[in-house]
Amino acid sequence: MPEIDTANRFLIGVLGPDVVFMKPVPQRLSADDALLLAAHLVAMAEVQRPTHRFEDVLKAVQNA
């Protein structure tokens, strides 16, 4: 299994209470890039102490 690339290629960050994109996200992503983007979004959002845990939101989306 290849090493997981964790680079923040999409330049996701936190600015005050918001999670921000520092550059536009491509309209098409590979499955690996989509997971990387999602992981960075989750990591940044969790710093902001959201109302729901990611695992709960993921389960709700998967069951929708």
Per-residue exposure over 36-59, b if at least 16 CB sit within 10 Å of its own CB, e if not: bbeebbbebbeeeeeeeeeeeeee
Tell me, yes or no, whether 30 lies in a domain: yes
Tell me, yes or no, whether 39 lies in a domain: yes
pTM score, two decimals? 0.85
Tell me, yes or no, whether 2 lies in a domain: no
* Total number of domains constituting the chain: 1
Residues 13-42 have pLDDT tens digits of 999 889 998 888 889 999 999 999 999 999
Mean pLDDT, the chain, rounded, equals: 92
Note down the domain range covering 19: 12-62
Tell me, yes or no, whether 5 lies in a domain: no
Tell me, yes or no, whether 25 lies in a domain: yes
The residues, any chain, with a CB within 8 Å of residue 51's CB and separated by 6 or more, are none
Tell me, yes or no, whether 7 lies in a domain: no
